[in-house]
Amino acid sequence: MNPLNHLNFSGGPGALPESVLLQVQQSIIAVPEVGLSILGISHRSDWFASVVAELEGNIRELMGLPEDFHVLFLQGGATQQFSMIPMTLLRGKPHPAEYLHTGYWSGKALAEARREGAIRVLWSGEASGFRRLPGDEELAYSPDAPYLHYISNETVEGLQFHRVLGRDDVPRVCDMSSDFLSQPCEAERYSLIYAHAQKNIGPAGVTVVLVRDGVLKNAPADLPGFLDYRSHAQAHSIFNTPPVFAIYVVLLITRWLRNEIGGLSRMAEINRSKAGLMYRRLDDSHGFYRGRAETQDRSLMNVTFNLATPELEQRFLAAAQAAGFSGLSGHRSTGGIRASLYNGLTLSAVEQLTGFMEDFQRKAG
């Protein structure tokens, strides 16, 4: 493998498709239809307004989004949403918001919500090391909660819900940062969906927020302008200088999903094939590679596993890096190995990795 062209298995920023990277490369010099570098095009230009409009339309079409959703492109990452959501939906409410604590990122989200008001942790996997997700029988939702917050895919632990949670009479709020546009998601059942770009759909700098109009109507009146979804909705995501470059790359990704992949169902098939190859490699290794997540909650995006000892894991990571597989070390909070298989990573890259894993096991075993 060419050492100048490593395969990117990082948890984020993630791999992007080569055909998109080639267009991005061209756009740094000049966007063909404008004749200017993407880095120097005004966010007040007609062209950029058309980028925002096309991107919004693509997301609506790919996800089958109902009309009453606003599609916003914000800054501050998913982390800013951890605060904006309780400011909008929890402030002044008599009942606690409900949060699931299923891993590292949901822990961050609920800690920020606590600064704003009362929350109730419906279920926590902390004591059991975040190796599984709750079943429906473990979740006693309250009909009075102002909203339910959860994370569809826990990026660090490699846990993914394969169903929609909650009750239909309580607004669902979901962080989809690490599985956004990786598969169809029944968007119509949510009140607010958010996802930053840098895991699955582009570079860091932009966060997609899909929020129903009803949520905005009931928001407190005195929020700071920048932290009020209504400001961004009214300004069509150009409330202040937006990250033009990042938004353009996300547009190219949605074009790729529509035109080259053929939509989210097809994307989901490809993602299932990639994850299937990885999990088969773990399961066929007779315990050499030990999957971290319980089988029914395994993530299609982040495959987490351990080897027998931390020393063997270090040898594995060093050998993988030398062979051109980049970004495989687990999150600093968990250690171990994590192979992230975002949309832009090809089936062929996963085949190469599983081949390497088979080889490594044979030599070490």
Ligand X SMILES: *Cc1c(COP(=O)(O)O)cnc(C)c1O
Which residue numbers belong to the known binding site?
44, 78-79, 105, 155, 175, 198, 240-241
Residue 221 beta carbon to ligand X: minimum distance, rounded to whole angstroms: 27
Q: In what order do the strands lie in the sheet with 337-340?
A: 290-291, 302-306, 337-340
Residue 155 beta carbon to ligand X: minimum distance, rounded to whole angstroms: 3
Peptide bond between residue 13 and the one before it cis (omega within 30 degrees of 0) = yes
Note every long-range contact of 328-335, with CB atoms under 8 Å and residues 24 or more positions apart, other chains counting.
Answer: 328/9, 330/156, 330/304, 331/11, 331/104, 331/155, 331/156, 333/104, 333/156, 334/104, 334/156, 334/157, 334/292, 334/304, 335/306, 335/310
The residues, any chain, with a CB within 8 Å of residue 356's CB and separated by 6 or more, are 319, 320, 323, 325
Residue 17 beta carbon to ligand X: minimum distance, rounded to whole angstroms: 20
**Cβ contact 191:214 at 8 Å:** yes
- Residues near ligand X (CB under 6 A): 12, 77-79, 105, 151, 155, 175, 177-178, 196, 199
Q: Compare residues 12 and 336 and give the one whose CB is closer to ligand X.
A: 12
Residue 159 beta carbon to ligand X: minimum distance, rounded to whole angstroms: 11
Annotated binding-site positions for pyridoxal 5'-phosphate: 78-79, 105, 155, 175, 198, 240-241
Q: Compare residues 23 and 198 and give the one whose CB is closer to ligand X.
A: 198
Residue showing tokens 């009750």: 167
Residues assigned a catalytic role: 105, 175, 199
The residues, any chain, with a CB within 8 Å of residue 110's CB and separated by 6 or more, are 99, 101, 119, 121, 149
Q: Which residues share a beta bridge with 119? A: 97
Q: Give the nearest residue (CB) to ligand X.
A: 77
